[in-house]
Structure 1
């Protein structure tokens, strides 16, 4: 007689169920469909054999990924080997996914079946699962499904949720837009203020400095020796400050009214604030690149590396690209135009902005761009898939590009890639150990502060609970003091003080709180 079992995967764990009257069930599928909706009839068909709950939300996510990829997880293997009969030929296991059924049949030797009456039984198990498992409620099962669904979706959308490369994409896009806007606005200030002081345009080339000077000088007729020190501070050059002062005395500009100067100064202050924000945004971008892609930023720079990530869509997509794609990333129009007209294909795309391409000779630009794209592909993969990202590999790869550049110019033979990577591995392990040590110290300090805070709150709560009724009446007579310091509620009947907020969440049962996100 063949024993039919059904495997059901839920957000809280695996369930193994046995079916009664196997021969009748296999022949009477319409009756099974009707009995699914009735809990009493369904209990006559299905019996819970074993239930294996997940230890944590991380374990639940690992098992969900394994099931979706058709891999038998250790928890699933232990459940099946423990609770299924030893005679595998007499066991028929019903599963919902054909991929996981094929993996179980290949690795464990159990015959698996999908579809047909198995799908109807699994539908009934999904409907009445909270009634089959003791201690599991419908609300906790829904919370567990919601938490696991969020975690699974985030893992699918992005390879690693902690690496927020989306911030890099938005930052570099905003940085490029700010550069265009600042240039446009600065040209407007030059044309507007140049009507009054045209000589200033030839002396000052920097846009932000010009706007600061236009805001400071105002009417050129009021510029005198007393303002020379401030001019030197703004221009960072004594000769230019002296030239501005001399030009203001013999300027051929037209006179300007006070209301016009007010509008020019107002607009100049806006452009200056945009320039300052652009600098702070560039600092933020550098810090994010050092956290997310340290090797890529050390190799090719923060701006070019961020543009590569933004053009690819994410760091994971960039890591999946071959070196030939990275080389022409950003030059797609030129590539397809060359393929259509059968002309020469482009040698470089976004990596053209790297200093290595500019330093190379004209005949070596194609070779150095191909070599640089190869190293960028390696650096992006290291940043994407390493657990503790460091800039060691990026610095070593940069040294290799420098050696290859000198080889093209002088003929000096560079080091072998194997020797460089061995040296980088040793340094990377040391850097990773140092980073881990610092994180552990920070965690210990945080826990110590948390313990002190909880002890202080517990002491304050105990003092408040030991106060007499007369003291409580005295405090109630002073409403101002009550507003300054909130009254703490004493503990009654063993309940917790609501004024105390613990930062560490309590460990919850998966049945009570579901899988945490």
Structure 2
């Protein structure tokens, strides 16, 4: 905004301060002298002078005003201070606002002041530089307003704690932070279990190498390693327990028993067997915990994001929320961003090399993308991302969790997929 600044508004932790601005020529000149003047209190105090200071009366009022400033809302407490410049109500004060230009740090707040009070506001570089100087010297400049040494720090600390508490408060039944931690832990457990299972096979394989071919499943292998122990001591009485581990397959259990008696593996000492068994027991418990964590994640997703879960499944939905940082962030993303979420490296590489941009990110793991034909994957990905965007917004802003919308959106995607398959659109 053109013109000379007449006032500067400073939103502090202890209250609102209004400063009058002088030495317009020096302020308008963008030079090193201005930067030096701002850092020097004696020079800066001649550039701006405190006109009025309206302190907060309580910590709750300070928090309320801090939230209003961040949201671009004109608080009645701030309106009382600004009436010093323009007394009266909106519509009656425009004439008195002539020649006034208020420097404000927040663009949204400046727009609210302009629309409600008719006071022209400037959020440009010169206003921000002056506000930076006020913030730098606020403890000295607010002495005339009744502030004492150390009050600014105490007010900043108290408001910082209150503001942070207000931001991190959440409904315990709709906590997407728990989902982010759970899906991250689940992915880490998958990697660790693969590593540990491979180590278990290699270690116990020296003693019973034939077991790996008979029982390729890692969880069942670890359970049998604990049950069998020293293969030389394996008896017919263990056949039922092995059969239970092997999904009630009596033939496989009998094959394991026969292979143990004719195994070509080396003998094992008691201390080695103890260590192998302890490690295999830990692998078994870790696999069981992964199953319980999966059930926990499904329950949380059905509460926090039931529609998104019904549309693309709990695991993919949880990964989308985790990648976005929160369900609210995911709801703010456009469908085009949701479509390639998780493929940022490929996107930036394509933009840099001017190649083809990726068609899908995390949603590639959805069954819809897998079932679509090669020439339809891009279309289904775009359509699915659109429905995901709708589903997560419903989940984020609805008060009563329900999966009806997710099921309806899933039916729409199924219908579109069938349409592509039947019509064979190129």
TM-score by length of 2: 0.71
- Closer/same/farther in 2, CA of residues 58 and 216 from structure 1, 3 Å limit: same
Q: What is residue 104 of structure 2 aligned with on the other side?
A: 97
1:294 equivalenced with 2:303 (yes/no): no
CA distance, structure 1, for counterparts of residue 209 and residue 384 of structure 2 = 45
Q: What is residue 276 of structure 2 aligned with on the other side?
A: 264
- Closer/same/farther in 2, CA of residues 314 and 326 from structure 1, 3 Å limit: same
Residue among 85, 97, 107 paired with 2:116: 107
- Closer/same/farther in 2, CA of residues 386 and 12 from structure 1, 3 Å limit: farther
Where structure 2 has 5 or more consecutive residues not aligned to the other structure, the ranges are 1-5, 28-36
Q: What is residue 273 of structure 1 aligned with on the other side?
A: 285
Q: What is residue 352 of structure 1 aligned with on the other side?
A: 364
Q: Indicate if the aligned counterparts of 1:218 and 1:261 stay in contact, CA closer than 8 A.
A: yes
- How far the C-alpha of 1:269 sits from its partner, in A, is 1.9
CA distance, structure 1, for counterparts of residue 134 and residue 156 of structure 2 = 20
CA distance, structure 2, for counterparts of residue 279 and residue 126 of structure 1 = 57
CA distance, structure 2, for counterparts of residue 323 and residue 179 of structure 1 = 30
TM-score by length of 1: 0.60
User: Relative to structure 2, which stretch is displaced further, 392-401 or 218-227?
Assistant: 392-401
1:176 equivalenced with 2:178 (yes/no): no
- Across the aligned residues of Structure 1 and Structure 2, the Cα RMSD in angstroms comes to 4.7
Residue among 222, 227, 232 paired with 1:211: 222
More relative contact order in 1 or in 2 (CA 8 Å, sep 6+)? 1
- How far the C-alpha of 1:224 sits from its partner, in A, is 1.7
1:222 equivalenced with 2:227 (yes/no): no
Superposed CA deviations along residues 237-266 of structure 1, whole A, max 9, x for unmatched, are 142333323333343444333233222212
Q: What is residue 62 of structure 1 aligned with on the other side?
A: 67
- Closer/same/farther in 2, CA of residues 78 and 297 from structure 1, 3 Å limit: farther
Residue among 175, 193, 199 paired with 2:210: 199
1:369 equivalenced with 2:381 (yes/no): yes
- How far the C-alpha of 1:313 sits from its partner, in A, is 4.4
Q: Indicate if the aligned counterparts of 1:357 and 1:365 stay in contact, CA closer than 8 A.
A: yes
- Closer/same/farther in 2, CA of residues 85 and 267 from structure 1, 3 Å limit: closer
**Larger Rg, first or second structure (1 or 2):** 1
CA distance, structure 2, for counterparts of residue 278 and residue 65 of structure 1 = 41
Q: What is residue 317 of structure 2 aligned with on the other side?
A: 305
Superposed CA deviations along residues 186-239 of structure 1, whole A, max 9, x for unmatched, are 122223323332332233232111101101111122222222232233333142
Q: How does 1:110-149 map to 2 (within 5 A)?
A: 110=119, 127=140, 129=142, 132=145, 142-149=153-160
CA distance, structure 1, for counterparts of residue 373 and residue 154 of structure 2 = 63
CA distance, structure 2, for counterparts of residue 354 and residue 267 of structure 1 = 35
- Closer/same/farther in 2, CA of residues 401 and 46 from structure 1, 3 Å limit: closer
CA distance, structure 1, for counterparts of residue 421 and residue 134 of structure 2 = 73
Local SS of the residue matching 2:376: helix
Superposed CA deviations along residues 487-512 of structure 1, whole A, max 9, x for unmatched, are xxxxxxxxxxxxxxxxxxxxxxxxxx
Local SS of the residue matching 1:330: coil
CA distance, structure 1, for counterparts of residue 216 and residue 235 of structure 2 = 22
Aligned residues, how many?
Answer: 392
Q: What is residue 255 of structure 1 aligned with on the other side?
A: 267
CA distance, structure 2, for counterparts of residue 122 and residue 202 of structure 1 = 72
CA distance, structure 1, for counterparts of residue 183 and residue 111 of structure 2 = 46
Q: Indicate if the aligned counterparts of 1:296 and 1:394 stay in contact, CA closer than 8 A.
A: yes
Local SS of the residue matching 2:68: helix
Where structure 1 has 5 or more consecutive residues not aligned to the other structure, the ranges are 412-517
CA distance, structure 2, for counterparts of residue 400 and residue 322 of structure 1 = 19
